[in-house]
């Protein structure tokens, strides 16, 4: 949703922007182009591979860009290290990136065959293989149900527990095979691949993706300058629910810190959805730091 991001995020004048999930710099490049030669951008990402790709792609912007390998949960620390107290625009693009999905060796996708990894930050411990082979069956079922909203979570967890008794599950193809054997035949041939929700749930659990969203949004609000904009793109209902709830809390009665700019989340235009099917589930919410005495 590049047009929508630029509409809500970029303002006139020399500004400082923080891209908390810079990825392969699709948004970052457009922000730098649109914001003029006096603006700067700090880009964070958990994925060191993405940071290096962005470093090459954004090289033409010179010292207007600072790229850091790190988690947006630590955004305040990263800004402090960069000598920056406040920024004028912040973007979160949640979830997994297309290059991560398309690289079988990362283990995010069920459409290829690769190791059960799924770590966004490959320097961290704890892979998807560790999770599916070590977690108790009940804990695994709860995660698949909670993070994947998978109605056959108990059956899938039971099948995983049985399969790993014979030998550890090591590849994405092995896990898909177990899932396919656990669900009813009509579910295997539905509109959504029967492994989609389980893979999503395991990825979220491996990377602890949900617990850090609300604290990070609150920290982002703290470092926004008055009138600064905050944009969040989410890709499934669990993420969007957290963003909506946090925006509501921060813009509530009493001493609101934010003004919500999008009464309802924006979704991609049909042209973009047709061109990029992965964008169809995207939702964008935007808010602005209030101009009010008592706030930095």
- Tell me what percent of the chain is helix, strand and coil, each rounded to the nearest 5: 50, 15, 35
What CATH number is associated with residue 70? 3.40.50.150
Nearest to 262 by CA among 23, 30, 21, 5: 5
Q: Is residue 217 part of a domain?
A: yes
H-only helix segments in 86-183: 98-102, 128-134, 137-148, 153-166, 172-182
What CATH number is associated with residue 123? 1.10.150.170
Among 180, 207, 234, the domain boundary falls at: 207
Could you tell me the CA-to-CA distances from 121 to 47, 100, 127 in Å, in that order? 5, 11, 10
Among 207, 227, 251, the domain boundary falls at: 207
Per-residue pLDDT of 199-234, as tens digits, reads 999 999 999 999 999 999 999 999 999 999 999 999
Residues of the chain with pLDDT under 70: 292-296
* Chain centre distance of CA 97: 8
Give the model's pLDDT for residue 22.
96
| Secondary structure element (H or E) that encloses residue 259, with its range | strand 258-260
Give the model's pLDDT for residue 101.
87
Q: How many domains does the chain have?
A: 2
Same domain flag for 275 and 141: no
Give the model's pLDDT for residue 296.
43
d(CA 156, CA 212): 27
Q: Report the predicted TM-score, pTM, of the whole model to 2 decimal places.
A: 0.93
Give the model's pLDDT for residue 292.
63
Is-contact 69 48, C-beta < 8 A? yes
Question: What SS3 state is found at 202?
Answer: helix
Same domain flag for 152 and 194: yes
The β-bridge relationship of strands 283-289 and 224-234 is antiparallel
Residue 120: domain span: 105-207
| Secondary structure element (H or E) that encloses residue 198, with its range | helix 196-207
Give the model's pLDDT for residue 295.
44
Same domain flag for 132 and 58: no
Question: What SS3 state is found at 288?
Answer: strand
Give the model's pLDDT for residue 102.
86
Give the model's pLDDT for residue 99.
86
Among 189, 207, 225, the domain boundary falls at: 207
């Amino acid at each position: 949703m590049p047009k929508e991001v630029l509409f809500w995020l970029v303002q006139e004048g020399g500004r400082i922007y923080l891209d908390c999930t810079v990825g392969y710099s699709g948004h970052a490049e457009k922000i730098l182009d649109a914001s003029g030669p006096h603006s700067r951008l700090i880009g964070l990402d958990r994925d060191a591979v993405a940071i290096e790709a962005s470093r090459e792609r954004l090289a033409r912007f010179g010292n207007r860009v600072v790229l850091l390998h790190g988690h947006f949960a630590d955004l305040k620390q990263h800004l402090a290290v960069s000598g920056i107290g406040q920024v004028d625009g912040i973007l979160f693009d949640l979830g997994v990136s297309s290059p991560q999905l398309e690289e079988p060796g990362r283990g995010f996708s069920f459409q290829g065959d690769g190791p059960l990894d799924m770590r966004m930050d490959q320097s961290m411990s704890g892979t998807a293989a560790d999770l599916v082979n070590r977690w108790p069956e009940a804990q695994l079922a709860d995660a698949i149900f909670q993070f994947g909203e998978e109605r056959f979570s108990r059956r899938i967890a039971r099948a995983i527990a049985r399969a790993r008794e014979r030998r550890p599950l090591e590849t994405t193809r092995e896990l898909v095979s177990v899932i396919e054997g656990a669900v009813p035949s009509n579910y295997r041939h539905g509109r959504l691949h029967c492994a989609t929700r389980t893979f999503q749930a395991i990825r979220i659990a491996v990377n602890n993706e949900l617990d850090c969203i609300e604290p990070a949004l609150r920290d982002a609000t703290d470092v926004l300058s008055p009138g600064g904009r905050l944009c969040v793109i989410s890709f499934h209902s669990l993420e969007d629910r957290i963003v909506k709830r946090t925006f509501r809390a921060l813009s509530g009665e009493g001493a609101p810190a934010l003004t919500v700019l999008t009464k309802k989340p924006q979704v991609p235009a049909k042209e973009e959805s047709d061109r990029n099917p992965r964008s169809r589930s995207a939702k964008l919410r935007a808010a602005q730091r209030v101009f009010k005495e008592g706030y930095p």
